[in-house]
Amino acid sequence: MMLATVVLLAITMLSPHATLPRRVFDWFFVLDITQSMNVRDYTLDGKSISRLEFSKRAMREALRDLPCGSTVALGMFTERGTQNIVRPLEVCAHFSSLDQTIDHMDWRMAWAADSFITHGVFSAVDLTAKLGPDTRLAFFTDAHQAPPANPDYLPQFEGKIGEVEGVLVGTGKEELSRIPKLDEHDNIIGYWELEEVMRFATFGIMTSKSVAEMESDMEVEESGVHNRNAPHGRNPAEDTKANLSGLDEKTLKHLAEVTGLNYERLNSLHGFARDATATTMASWRSGKTDLRPWFALPALLLILAFFMPPRFFDFVQQHLRFKKK
């Protein structure tokens, strides 16, 4: 037994590998970095934690569970679009780089303050398709819209439903919370007030209907400026809770239905890791497989057997004879 153990350990030290077919996962993790994600409505280890931080930890947890051979790309969303910041990298060879990049994703990286979530999801789906046919999308967001959306001017999904698989991950609680202002150390120094945020839906793209209205309605208000020319259009509906934020599940479920993605609510750190390694999200391909565990484990069992007392083997032998009878 000891001779066999030495042989097995010697083979293990040579780091044997083989090219074998195996189940792997290809993901594009996208994180919403708009300011509503700073709302601290999660609790972890007895402390309040922001949607942004909780999402990052869930992503890092999934990264640890993905098997070697899997790839992960990273992206961020703000304003109207999703930007790919890290091209697909193999998770084992580049684990440290991916983990640290996720950890350093920050709300300060936002290139604009607006949050048009429908545009962001559609652009993320388009980017995912370009990363590879087996790449899945995981989009972390609370779906907070800022400024409020005008349903007449929302974009239409132009892709093929279900062509890109993945999940929209809803973050935060549905209950509305105040959106905090943070200093350079992420300490809360105040909260956004209603007067400080855009509370009217932007007018959007001009349509034939709006042109007809402009041609037929030449009345001018006493101020000399007609409401139709205002950024928010004629007779705007005011959002009196524009400075508050809660998980908008209705919007995310609608976007999931339109695009063919799944919708899951982020309730625990391990919840997304289970979704990320689900069989339905896997792909099979040949890859370099480490064979060391296949030699090291038998060597460990032989060492344990070598030091077992003789009566243990007598007991096993008697038990096997009893079973035969």
Verdict on whether the full-model pTM lies above 0.85: no
CA distance 52 to 90: 24
CA distance 10 to 292: 10
Judge contact between 105 and 180, C-beta under 8 A: no
CA distance 136 to 67: 15
Task: Decide if pLDDT at 206 tops 50.
Answer: no
pLDDT of res. 322: 64
Tell me the CA distances in angstroms from 120 to 30, 76, 78, 128, 132, one per residue in order: 10, 9, 7, 12, 19
CA distance 115 to 78: 6
Q: Read off the tokens for 287.
A: 């890859």
Q: pLDDT tens for residues 78-137? A: 988 999 999 999 998 999 999 999 999 999 998 888 899 999 999 999 999 999 999 999
Higher per-residue confidence, 204 vs 57: 57
CA distance 305 to 74: 47
Higher per-residue confidence, 188 vs 198: 188
Judge contact between 276 and 55, C-beta under 8 A: no
**Strand-strand pairing, 81-90 and 188-191:** unpaired
Q: How many CA atoms lie within 13 A of 229 on its CB side?
A: 11
Please state the rounded mean pLDDT for residues 185-209. Answer: 73
| Listed residue (138, 135, 146) closest to 110, CA to CA | 146
**Strand-strand pairing, 244-245 and 262-265:** unpaired
Judge contact between 180 and 191, C-beta under 8 A: yes
Q: Read off the tokens for 73.
A: 């790309």
Burial of 190: CB neighbours in 10 Å, binned 0-12, 13-18, 19+: exposed
283: CB partners within 8 A, 6+ apart: 23, 24, 25, 26, 134
Q: pLDDT tens for residues 271-289? A: 999 999 999 999 987 767 7
Q: pLDDT tens for residues 21-55? A: 888 999 999 999 999 999 999 999 899 999 999 99
- Mean per-residue pLDDT over the chain, rounded: 85
* H or E segment to which residue 104 belongs: none
CA 255 to chain centre: 15
Alpha helix ranges (H) inside 90-199? 95-103, 117-131
CA distance 106 to 110: 8
